Structure 1
């Protein structure tokens, strides 16, 4: 049973396997997490989202 549990952890509960298959973009080390979050917040703070203008108004009925 312990052998099967170890095999399962190596095969499915491993972030590097998921990254290799393309399910996730990257594996972040715990020591680098704060840096990644800070960068993401800085980038999204200056993001402007504009809506396209309407092409048509309400049709007359």
Structure 2
């Protein structure tokens, strides 16, 4: 995995003992994410 990280193919190498904490942190961050969906500018035109 370190060669892949050196080439930039992956973002990070996680040690096996850190996997649980890494996943918990990722879930916490993603649960707080709020996605803003813009309103539609144009409706569907009739045919």
- Coarse TM-score class (shorter-chain normalised): 0.7 to 0.9
Q: Please tell me whether Structure 1 or Structure 2 has the larger radius of gyration of its CA atoms.
A: 1
Q: Distance in 2 between matches of 1:45 and 1:51?
A: 17
Q: TM-score, normalised by structure 2?
A: 0.86
Task: Count how many residue pairs are aligned between Structure 1 and Structure 2.
Answer: 47
Q: TM-score, normalised by structure 1?
A: 0.69
Matches within 5 A, 1:18-33: 18-33=4-19
Q: Structure 1 runs of 4+ off > 3 angstroms?
A: none
Which structure has more relative contact order (CA 8 Å, sep 6+)? It is 2
In structure 1, list runs of 5 or more residues that go unmatched: 1-14
